[in-house]
Amino acid sequence: MSDRQQGRADGRKVRVVVIGAGASGLCMGHALDAAGIRDWTIYEKGHDLGGTWRDNCYPGLSCDVPSRFYTFSFAPNPAYRSMYASGAQIKAYMDDVADRFGLRDRIRLGEEVTSARWSDGRWQLRTSAGTEDVADVLVSATGFLHHPHIPDLPGLPDFEGAAFHSARWDHSVPLDGARIGVVGTGSTGVQIVSALGPRASRLVVFQRTAQWVLPLPNFRFSRLTRWLHRHVPALGRRSYRLWQGMWEHLFAPAVVRPGWQRSFLSTACRLNLRFGVRDPELRRKVTPDYQPLCKRLVMSAGFYPVLQRPNVDVETEAIERIEPRGVRMRDGRFHELDVLVFATGFDARAFMRPMELVGEGGLSIDEAWAGGPRAYNTVAVPGFPNFFMLCGPHSPIGNQSILSVAESQSAYIVSWIRRLEEQGLPAVAPTAQATRRFNESMREAYPGTVWVTGCRSWYLGADGLPELWPWTPERHRELMSTVTPEDFEVHGPAAEEALTPPG
Ligand code: NA7
């Protein structure tokens, strides 16, 4: 028996494996260390950490959550240079967090977990590098927007120019003076268009659905502000709370229930459209036929001005096919292009897949989620003992900081690990009943949300219902602050022992 296995059998130590070294994986590593749980490893399929902020490096990339709030609460970032940080600044922050908290030596880069099977009361893991490992607790921190979606357009392989997805940017392709097409007008497409409009000789924006846009100007922090943040750490913590309060009291209530916040943001979007786009014909083209906030709100002060440049066209006809030299529209018109960018989003339901994840009794995650991803309280799945997720199904994502979400979920997972250690429990998984109850309560809350007011978005599942948290982020933090043992059942040798209620 190995030392690790010995440690578990003695009930002294729990070994944790985390999958993914993006923001939430780093957060989990920090939470484990802070709790004195030292036996953990993060496996990361990429050759660098940072997740989304490693994969995305397109021109114009920034985060539309205020930078003072887009940090972990335990690690303010005085290095941010602007109100909405660029992707490069956030990637640098992720690197800094890994260094500052000594996380790097337990991150195994370039090793994708290909298989995780619950067997003999532990998770048996295999990686793409052939490593075999075991874990008492498995944490998925694999993100939710990381499998690029490229539409299956006829003729695409024959395109003679450069074509790539926004999250797989080809930096060898010249952009200045090029004829560029951008497919998609979500948050990504809008940022790319705003950045490339002034650089391209011609830019065609292929818009399938118009978007509401909130004009948020991005200003740089002065040298004095940055100096103060560097030398007065309390300022970083204060700013975090301030922006968190502002964001959570404005954007979060606006999407989950009718009220002044929804009216205020809707009016701001409508006024931006009315006065931001002067040409009535262009305005007609970019006017959505659904309520503001129904899709994830796009924030940009630069989009409308760029759309009105003489070298920029908004194309609303459907794409018929891709031809070697450009894009043919359904009405027969043709756009000759050198570069075609797909800002067409991600498979938001992939989560841990394509990893083979098999829980108790040979139940695969694909079988468990045949009807769509369903989680218990956003963090666990029935039939998958000692398995937890960060930013998994139903988490409060959208226009919020997922760093904050990962933080409260990490704390919750640590609470369970402590219980496993202290009570000598072999393994726990949520009951099907508690999971059903949680999912039913979400379904009851959906009618009040703006997501069901008539639009298509990645927030909606195959059944047309939203799949994300329909309440405020505070309520999620509250939920994550306590463990409810009654909702869990014990798996493994000590299954007959009842879980003790919280003391
Ligand atoms: P989104 O928000 O999913 O946007 C994808 C865009 O691509 C959206 O405008 C789609 O139009 C469009 N799209 C998707 N498929 C097609 C096809 N087949 N033809 C034409 N247009 C298409 O992805 P983003 O990358 O912008 O943002 C993802 C998240 O990253 C964002 O929410 C933030 O959290 C950060 P549609 O509106 O579906 O008609």
- Distance in Å, CA 184 to ligand 1 centroid: 5
| Residues of the chain above pLDDT 90, percent | 89
Q: Which atom of ligand 1 is nearest to the CA of 153?
A: 18
3-state secondary structure of 113: strand
Mean of pLDDT values over 342-349: 91
Choose which residue among 147, 168, 182, 188 to substitute to test ligand 1 binding: the one with the highest number of ligand atoms within 8 A of its C-beta: 188
Q: How far apart are CA 250 and CA 53, in angstroms?
A: 26
DSSP sequence for 32-45: HHHTT---EEEEES
Nearby residues of 388 by Cβ (< 8 Å), 6 or more positions away: 137, 138, 139, 140, 379, 380, 409, 412, 413, 416
Q: In which band, very low, low, confident or very high, does the pLDDT at 462 lie, cut at 50, 70 and 90?
A: confident
Listed residue (213, 153, 202) closest to 315, CA to CA: 202
Can you say whether the dihedral through the CA atoms of 282, 283, 284, 288 is positive or negative? positive
Question: Over the stretch 234-283, which tens digit does the pLDDT of each residue have?
Answer: 999 999 999 999 999 999 999 999 999 999 999 999 999 999 999 999 99
Mean of pLDDT values over 43-67: 97
Q: How far apart are CA 203 and CA 183, in angstroms?
A: 11
- Distance in Å, CA 356 to ligand 1 centroid: 28
Q: How far apart are CA 2 and CA 237, in angstroms?
A: 43
Mean pLDDT lowest for which of 33-37, 43-47, 350-354, 443-447?
350-354
| Residues of the chain above pLDDT 70, percent | 95
- Distance in Å, CA 442 to ligand 1 centroid: 25
Answer yes or no: is the C-beta of 188 below 6 A from any ligand 1 atom.
yes
Q: What is the pLDDT of residue 7?
A: 42
Q: Is 246 left (phi over 0), alpha (psi -120 to 50) or beta?
A: alpha
Question: Over the stretch 472-499, which tens digit does the pLDDT of each residue have?
Answer: 999 999 999 999 999 999 987 645 444 5
Beta strands 326-329 and 319-323, pairing class: antiparallel
Q: Give yes or no for a contact between 196 and 281, defined as CB atoms under 8 angstroms apart.
A: no
pLDDT at 4 over 70: no
Question: Over the stretch 114-153, which tens digit does the pLDDT of each residue have?
Answer: 999 999 999 999 999 999 999 999 999 999 888 999 999 9
Can you say whether the dihedral through the CA atoms of 394, 397, 402, 407 is positive or negative? negative
Choose which residue among 70, 296, 297, 344 to substitute to test ligand 1 binding: the one with the highest number of ligand atoms within 8 A of its C-beta: 344
97-114 as b/e: b if 16+ CB within 10 A: bbeebebeebbbeebbbb
Answer yes or no: is the C-beta of 184 below 6 A from any ligand 1 atom.
yes
3-state secondary structure of 365: helix
Question: What DSSP state is assigned to residue 86?
Answer: B
Nearby residues of 267 by Cβ (< 8 Å), 6 or more positions away: none
**Cβ count within 10 A of residue 371:** 9
Question: Over the stretch 365-417, which tens digit does the pLDDT of each residue have?
Answer: 999 999 899 999 999 999 999 999 999 999 998 778 999 999 999 999 999 99
Q: How far apart are CA 196 and CA 175, in angstroms?
A: 8
- Distance in Å, CA 19 to ligand 1 centroid: 26
Question: Over the stretch 401-411, which tens digit does the pLDDT of each residue have?
Answer: 999 999 999 99
Q: Which atom of ligand 1 is nearest to the CA of 397?
A: 34
As beta bridge partners, residue 355 has: none
Q: How far apart are CA 159 and CA 168, in angstroms?
A: 17
pLDDT at 13 over 80: yes
pLDDT at 471 over 90: yes
